[in-house]
Amino acid sequence: ETGVTQTPRHLVMGMTNKKSLKCEQHLGHNAMYWYKQSAKKPLELMFVYSLEERVENNSVPSRFSPECPNSSHLFLHLHTLQPEDSALYLCASSQVGTGVDTQYFGPGTRLTVL
Amino acid sequence: AQSVTQLGSHVSVSEGALVLLRCNYSSSVPPYLFWYVQYPNQGLQLLLKYTTGATLVKGINGFEAEFKKSETSFHLTKPSAHMSDAAEYFCAVSTMEYGNKLVFGAGTILRVKS
């Protein structure tokens, strides 16, 4: 595997389900990000982990819970979601501390909440 | 604060014609500027970036962009459009002042007519 991978690619869940999204980066980076991409809205940064510590949480509802067990893996745990949470969830990684942080994105998980 | 405006949510060109996608940014400090492309049901792929130095930046797939500080612009061009260029394009800005956080424009959907 190369680059940034995300699983699953598609997920349909009910409002009472609990599920997790997984992201893995194979680039040797030290920062990882979760973004939400909804139709007709700009990309929204949700969480940032740098050196495995959460450094940003952009007022995201508590029904989204991130986890970064090491610099290569990032999870987004989902529970009691709402239909408006249906979106494409993108993971990205970058190497911070080297000047310009260039973010590289995974293919995304298309989430549908029924 | 930093922001990005992409003029035109949809652009349509004929195959072989010039592609011009417009991006204007707002930043109180020297910016880093990026163009990403997103094909249907995929993540964002980095096309090119400007950090410092030469203001004309060449990227993948024949695209290039020119940083014009006086116009606060970073327009994306390609001399001859291919059908495979049909996608959504995102301009983004980051600065060291804001921790290199990427701020994205709303995106421009490029349609290529045969």
pLDDT tens-digit series, residues A30-82: 999 999 999 878 899 999 998 878 777 778 999 999 999 999 999 999 999 99
Residue A44 DSSP label: E
Q: Say if the Cβ atoms of A105 and B107 lie within 8 Å.
A: no
Q: Two tokens at A104? A: 């590289």
The closest alpha carbon to A52, from A27, A78, A75, belongs to A75
pLDDT in tens, B46-82: 999 999 889 999 999 999 999 999 999 999 999 999 9
Class of residue B108 by CB neighbours under 10 A (exposed 0-12, middle 13-18, buried 19+): buried
Judged by CB atoms closer than 8 Å, whether chains meet at B46 and A110 is answered as no
Q: What is the mean pLDDT of chain A?
A: 91
Q: Which residues of B touch A99 (CB under 8 A)?
A: 51
Asked if A75 has any chain B CB less than 8 Å from its own CB, the reply is no
Share of chain B above pLDDT 90, in %: 81
DSSP class of A101: -
Indicate the SS3 state at residue B74.
Answer: strand
* Distance of residue B87 Cα from the nearest chain A Cα, in angstroms: 14
